[in-house]
A = this chain, B = another copy of it.
Amino acid sequence: MALRRLLALGAALGRRSCCSKPSLPPDFVEALRAVVGAPNVSTAAAVREQHGHDESMHPCAPPDVVVWPQAVGQVQELAALCHRGRVPMVPFGTGTGLEGGVNAVQGGVCFDLSRMDAIAELSLEDFSVTVEPGVTRKALNKHLRGTGLWFPVDPGADASLCGMAATGASGTNAVRYGTMRPNVLNLRVVLPDGRLLHTAGPGRQPRKRSAGYDLTSLFVGSEGTLGFLTQATLRLHPLPEATAVTVASFPSVGAAVACTVQVLQAAVPVARIEFLDEVMADACGRFSGMGLPVAATLLLELHGSRHSLAEQQHQMEEIMRQNGGSGLAWAEGLEEREQLWSMRHNAWYAALALRPGCQVRHKDGDDGGSARGAAGATALPSLAQGYSTDVCVPISRLPDVVVETKQDLQASGLTGPMVGHVGDGNFHCILIFNSQDPEEARRIHAFTQRLGRRALAAGGTCTGEHGVGLGKRALLQEELGQEGLDTLRSIKAALDPYNLMNPGKVL
């Protein structure tokens, strides 16, 4: 929290301009209680504080009140109340976002949707399932055990699936299974005035459609600014029969990327291909006790039948060799594989360990999303803190961008090991900083803005999977240009004319 308070200083200008908080209408909290019952409404400072931030550096901005609706009808009634009273509404899932998406910068009502957690309509033949916003990806995959199906999108954190839809999340498996967008078939949305929209029509789940504008894709990635995602129908995938994982070291970033491009060109159906720069590889190797070489590193996972796996491994080894890579033996057993992935999943801790004096907070998720709630809190003073940035560039530009970014880190005196979903050209810097040093926080902010601009200059995007939230609004304008931003604004104004849904975000 210390850092958040310090950063509040830097963000004060922004807050002044966007946070002329209107007070709630008289008897408004009473009206909320009448809808969901008194135990499902809270104005307690601790609860509001808990709901006023995510896992990013953005200063806490608590809502005026938190509500826990239990059913979609209640979400509709609550939204209608807010709409009539012109009160801002902020959807809240697990709070594991990384760009301040849940921070209630204009106050208002936080809708904590975690208690709506039904898993309905699992169809094994149609490879689909419908979940409410309280269902996390791990809970879904646990539910799917024994069915032969799984939901592969994995942003690291055990985020809610509707929250993942809201930010357009992806993660390590996206290179093979896609991001959230192609894996969402339908969304049940409560619009800002309380009306109920099914983006692909009520009860529908065709695998493809060309009937009207694609509302599903519009709401995926809308970051709570267009409505509440109160149900998602998701596309499931068959579990692979066999899986193999390896780690390979390369003489340079360029060689690791060239290897990746050749793997993709050879149509090896790689399931995960993760890049670690030499700082990250060293940190992970030391943290896990595996002792990886201090080199550009790829962590690769293959899925397939037992038979096809052998061929994929052979192809992969040949391509790695051609690019000067030298790898470990393939891990095929569950335990061995988990050991390698836990090395990657612990990148966050490994990065924190790079800074002496670090107090590690409970952290779940490889890209910076953490488990929230009681388990996530710590009473210890935290000196070092991590912040995970996210950009995505065309893969041909990745070596240059990574090298320039490393130079920038050095010139800025910052610690920021890199990990990335290299098959998609998407990478993160895990920035480790002293949470009691506002000057360093300012340097980090400036660095992330430069990194975003570097990605834009390379034909990429300022965010491949974390979203815009509060932190990348200026970059978004540069990315899309005036016409692009005007078009986004037109759509926002058309669907939320009073700017009540998660105001101050994205736009």
- Cα-based distance from A200 to B199 in the complex (angstroms): 22
Distance (Å) between the CB of A229 and the closest chain B CB? 14
A325 contacts the other chain (CB 8 A): no
A381-395 contacts to B, CB under 8 A, are: 392-395
The contact of A484 among B149, B198, B261, B491, by CB within 8 Å, is B198
B464 pairs with A125, CB closer than 8 A: no
Residues of B within 8 A of A265 (CB): 124, 127, 148-149, 238
Chain B residue numbers with a CB within 8 Å of A174 are 208
Closest to A424 in B: B207
A44 within 8 A of B: no
Give the copy number.
2
- A303–B167 Cα distance when bound, in Å, is 34
**Chain B residues whose C-beta falls within 8 Å of the C-beta of A205 in the assembled complex:** 394, 459
- By size class, the interface of chain A is 35 or more
Contacts of A491 in B (CB 8 A): 213, 218, 491, 494-495
Q: Determine how close the nearest CB of chain B comes to the CB of A146; give it in whole angstroms.
A: 14
Question: Is A202 engaged at the interface, CB distance under 8 Å to the other chain?
Answer: yes
Q: Does A195 contact B (CB under 8 A)?
A: yes
Take A181-B217, A393-B206, A484-B199 as given contacts and tell me if A462 and B126 are in contact as well, using a CB distance cutoff of 8 Å: no
A394 smallest CB distance to B (angstroms): 4
A342, CB-defined interface residue at 8 Å: no
Contact, CB under 8 Å: B199 / A394: no
CB neighbours (8 Å) of A119 from chain B are: none
Encode A208-241 as 1/0 by CB contact (under 8 A) with B: 1111111101101110001000000000011111
A124 to B396, CA, bound (A): 9
Q: A265-B238, A269-B269 are in contact. Are A461 and B218 (CB under 8 A)?
A: no
Known: A218-B218, A483-B197. A208 touches B426 (CB 8 A): yes
Q: Is the CB of A212 within 8 A of B488?
A: yes
B212 touches A459 (CB 8 A): no
Chain A contacts with B in 485-500, Cβ cutoff 8 A: 485, 487-488, 490-495
Choose one: B206, B214, B465, B467; the contact of A217 (CB below 8 Å).
B214
Query: Least Cβ distance of A152 to chain B in Å?
Result: 12
Residues of chain B lying within 8 A (CB to CB) of residue A238: 264-267
Contact yes or no, A210 B167, CB < 8 A: yes
Q: A195-B483, A205-B394, A484-B198 are in contact. Are A211 and B476 (CB under 8 A)?
A: yes
A50-85 at interface with B (beta carbon < 8 Å) = none
The distance in angstroms between the C-alpha atoms of A308 and B237, with both chains bound, is 20
CA distance A476 to B201 in the complex (A): 9
Chain B residue with Cβ nearest A466:
B210
Q: Decide: B315 and A311 in contact? CB cutoff 8 A.
A: no
Q: How far is the CB of A275 from chain B (nearest CB, A)?
A: 14
Cβ A206 vs Cβ B484 within 8 A: no
7 A-B pairs with least C-beta separation? A217-B217, A168-B210, A494-B494, A209-B461, A125-B396, A490-B494, A238-B267
A interface, CB within 8 angstroms of B: 123-128, 148-149, 167-170, 174, 178-179, 181-182, 191, 195-215, 217-218, 220-222, 226, 237-241, 261, 264-267, 269, 303-305, 307-308, 311-312, 315, 392-396, 424-426, 455-456, 459-468, 472, 475-476, 479-481, 483-485, 487-488, 490-495, 506-507
Query: Can you spell out 14 A-B residue pairs with CB atoms less than 8 angstroms apart?
Result: A125-B396, A168-B209, A191-B487, A198-B480, A204-B461, A205-B459, A206-B460, A207-B392, A207-B394, A208-B464, A211-B462, A212-B488, A218-B491, A238-B264
Please give 15 more A-B residue pairs, beta carbons under 8 A apart, in addition to A168-B210, A210-B461.
Answer: A124-B265, A174-B208, A181-B214, A196-B483, A206-B392, A206-B425, A207-B392, A210-B465, A210-B466, A211-B462, A211-B472, A211-B476, A238-B267, A241-B267, A304-B308
